[in-house]
Amino acid sequence: MKELLKCFALIGMLLAPVVQADPQWDAASKVVEKVTADMVTLIEQGVDVNDDASFQASMATIEQTVEGVIDFGYIAQRVMGKYYRRASDEERARFAEVFRQTMVKTYTKALAGFEITRVELVAPTVESPEPDKQVVTLDVYSGNGTKYTLVNYMLERDGQWQLVNVIVDGINLRLTFTNQFADMAERSNGNVTVAIDSWQSQIETRALRSEDA
């Protein structure tokens, strides 16, 4: 962890001219760095999927860490796509909550057994044309030497930066989720409630498979 913090400090020094030139990107990147550092700490402590109490504690830690940073409501609305307009207020609220719960659980399980050896903040090559929208890119190196590129899309509202989308190695997660929800809705003949039930059920099924793997 000390090496990681030194790495962040060095990156900050190297990017000093960029930070001074674009304070909006600087503010957004600090939010991403803080959450990333907290996640690395959790990984180092270990996530035990075989102990329910320990796993629930890890989920609670992650939920607290991303509280106010990931705009689950905004993302859930985009994931519902055209079905958001057709949904009732109750269905919209329910999916936002189901989406938050399933994403926290899925993310917690993904961290189990994962090892991060290095995280590098990538300096932007151009300034964002919209100051309230910033892109913060991280190169994350795993224990086996694999590099993952995470492109974090940040949106500022009321002075607070929040994550609204992520692209992992070229895979647009929000778009992937949107396509999945649309497929579930189409299979249920446009029934949003059934689609939400299917979403929750499939996430739970995947979670059980990961436990057995």
CA distances from 148 to 92, 103, 116, 166, 174 (A): 33, 19, 10, 12, 17
Please state the CATH superfamily assignment of the domain spanning residues 2-212 in this structure. Tgt2/MlaC (3.10.450.710)
| Better-scored residue on pLDDT, 202 or 29 | 29
Per-residue pLDDT for 21 more than 70?
A: no
Give pLDDT, residue 206: 61
**What does the pLDDT look like over 109-164, one tens digit per residue?**
888 878 888 999 999 989 999 999 999 999 999 888 899 999 999 999 989 999 99
Give pLDDT, residue 205: 66
Give pLDDT, residue 46: 86
* Chain mean pLDDT for the chain: 86
| Structural domain boundaries in the chain | 2-212
The stretch 45-61 carries a mean pLDDT of 89
Contact 71/162 with Cβ under 8 angstroms? yes
**What does the pLDDT look like over 75-84, one tens digit per residue?**
999 999 999 9
Its pTM stands at 0.83
DSSP state of 114: -
Q: How many residues does the chain have?
A: 213
Amino acid at 101: Q
**What does the pLDDT look like over 180-201, one tens digit per residue?**
999 999 999 999 999 999 998 8
Q: Which two tokens stand for residue 160?
A: 């607070």
